[in-house]
Structure 1
Amino acid sequence: MSFLVIGECVADIVRAPAGSGAADRVHPGGSPANVAYGLGRLGRDVTLLTQLADDPTGRLIGEHLRTAGVRVEAGGAPERTPSAVVGLDAQGAATYTFDIAWTLTGGAPAGLAPAHVHIGSIAAVTAPGAAAVLAETGRLRGRATVSYDPNVRPGLMGEHGAAVARVERCVALSDLVKASDEDLAWLYPGEDPHTVAARWLSLGPAVVLVTRGAAGSLAVTRRETVTADAPPVAVVDTVGAGDSFMSAVLDTLAGQGREALGALGAEYLAGLLRRAGAAAAVTVSRAGAHPPDRAELDAAEEEFALRSGRVS
């Protein structure tokens, strides 16, 4: 099964804590790129339609993606590779300051026929490139399932009402949506995540997933509502955690068509959340957006099961 991910690459410049004497760290990033990288690490056939400049960070990101087997297709070349200055608090939680432009033109190469398309983050809602993302997703949706992660960046979203409308347009194109509780708090202040998930289901998706950090995760379909705990883990930083969760979800659901997604049972959904949570736990246990490969993920899931008493 082949995957197409459409979206931005970003050089994450992780600031060292003030007074630590440590140097800043530069990590390949960008939510869609992280998802593609995570799928590649899990052995999946994946292409990333993106933009990379011919500069040091662009070459760094391109090589990073290729080490996981990701094919990189250029949709136009920006003057410089986008960057994000990442600040970490005492608990390793990340905040971002972006320098990014998104001017994607064109679509996937002729002959590429992915079974699944993933979109999200800055690329899906930022003009002018978002128009190309949505056009390509719409073109492929007749023969491919679609997933979406809003990965909200408030400083880049513009006026709130218009931003919500753009996000909901992407939700309506999708079969599976994953959002964090922080995403939902910005989009719909004061609303319960269960309420938002139910409303999004009415727009078209079969499954809505909500990640809640250390509080675990939630899966909602028209038939089921399932929660799962997060694995206990010592957090180094949270960069890329949600993207690792998304990659593990897509890997686990590979081959499930639209009708099958809507019919997923509670037990299956609980296992899906646990496996994706294990992937996120591996990622937060080390610096940068470095998701597990399949052997690491299998081991992490087994350890989580043992700790929680599900395996004797």
Structure 2
Amino acid sequence: MDLETDPHVLAIGEALVDIVSPASNPSAATEIPGGSPANVAMTLGRLGRNVALQTWIGRDPRGDVITKHFGDSHVFITPESCGADRTPTALATLDENGAASYTFDLEWAPASPIRVADTARVVHAGSIATVIEPGGPAVLDALVAARQHAIITYDPNARPAIMGSPEESLATVNKFVAVSDVVKVSDEDIAWLTGGRPVEDVLRDWLTMGPAIVIVTRGKTGALAHTVSGVRRAAVPADVEVVDTVGAGDSFMGGIIDALWSLGLVGAMSRSALHAIEDDQVRAILDRASAISDITVSRAGANPPWLSELAGMR
């Protein structure tokens, strides 16, 4: 892929090595490349989309593992990504239900300004890289500049262990919501960020800030989408046996972007159409993202499906 000539998705944010430790057997820890924006990029690469990742990793063995892991899923990691002193890690401890909690060793200091090629039609950011210094403000600046040629997608994907207080984090999250066209958030994120405000109240407030669509994932209850055009649509949850939830929200976010691309709702020229989105289009987005996430939770780790695995689903 040539970033200067090929329309593509650019994901901006952390890539790291997840050290996954089952609660029942901590000595059985395994090291797996991850990171929320990186997993979004991996989902899109496996679905056949042109996708690049702007991240911050070291030129070390773990950095090499990340480069190969995401490269094998057709993610192009930008040359500017390899300037960290060491590659970040996250200790992911799984409980008896397969849910993960994280402890981070992370540096996020990408070169500023972050370069975004004019051929990017979607620019995605989220999670840790948007809220920690010194890189967070550079990510926000990159999204503001990219609005001239791309739609902006955003997932707060809160990590309380590293993000500081909910109040401080919400103030930063709101800045990113205001420059985004599509926001995806989990109900757990909303509860932590807002002290338990009703989900629909938060969605209504965020829609007044600028996004065309806000989608909240609610675990086994299914996703809920609200749009500035007045659509209110809930996804019908599938009956899926959950192995673990690692990467589930990221694959859902990747599915949203994949569906937007299929619908032609990418690039700055589509912003007005996105703000006028109709119910059948919202349903198609939720169905696509849900099908992708359902496969991810049905197997261990952040392992989103390849395009061939989606034939005939939803």
Q: Who is 1:308 aligned against?
A: none
Q: Who is 1:161 aligned against?
A: 167
After the TM superposition, which residues 229-240 of structure 1 pair with which residues of structure 2 at under 5 Å, given as runs? 229-240=236-247
Distance 1:71 1:172 in 2: 28
Q: Which runs of 5+ in 1 are unaligned?
A: 303-312
Greater shift in the superposed pair: 181-190 or 268-277: 268-277
Q: Is the counterpart of residue 247 in structure 1 residue 247 in structure 2?
A: no
Q: Who is 2:299 aligned against?
A: 286
Distance 1:291 1:266 in 2: 26
Q: Who is 1:26 aligned against?
A: 31
Distance 1:217 1:159 in 2: 26
| Partner-residue secondary structure (3-state), 1:204 | coil
Taking only aligned residues, the RMSD between alpha carbons, in angstroms, comes to 1.6
Distance 1:143 1:168 in 2: 22
Q: Deviations over 1:57-83 (max 9, x none)?
A: 211111011112111013451121111
Q: Who is 2:3 aligned against?
A: none
* 4+ residue segments displaced more than 6 Å: none
Q: Deviations over 1:96-131 (max 9, x none)?
A: 111112111135557552011001000111110112
Q: Who is 1:179 aligned against?
A: 185
Q: Who is 2:279 aligned against?
A: 266
Q: Who is 2:4 aligned against?
A: none
Whichever residue aligns with residue 267 of structure 1, its letter is: D
Q: How many residues align?
A: 300
Distance 2:76 2:285 in 1: 26
| Partner-residue secondary structure (3-state), 1:115 | strand
Q: Is the counterpart of residue 2 in structure 1 residue 8 in structure 2?
A: yes
CA spacing shift, 1:46–1:19, aligned 2, 3 Å: closer
Q: Deviations over 1:173-203 (max 9, x none)?
A: 1000000001000111221111101100000
Whichever residue aligns with residue 138 of structure 1, its letter is: V
After the TM superposition, which residues 179-258 of structure 1 pair with which residues of structure 2 at under 5 Å, given as runs? 179-222=185-228, 223-254=230-261, 255-256=264-265, 257-258=270-271
TM-score normalised over the length of structure 1: 0.92
Q: Who is 1:94 aligned against?
A: 100
Greater shift in the superposed pair: 50-59 or 147-156: 50-59
Contact preservation (8 Å) 2:126, 2:157: yes
Q: Which runs of 5+ in 2 are unaligned?
A: 1-6
TM-score normalised over the length of structure 2: 0.91
Q: Deviations over 1:22-77 (max 9, x none)?
A: 72121110000000111100000111111111222211111011112111013451
Contact preservation (8 Å) 1:121, 1:149: yes
Q: Is the counterpart of residue 55 in structure 1 residue 60 in structure 2?
A: yes
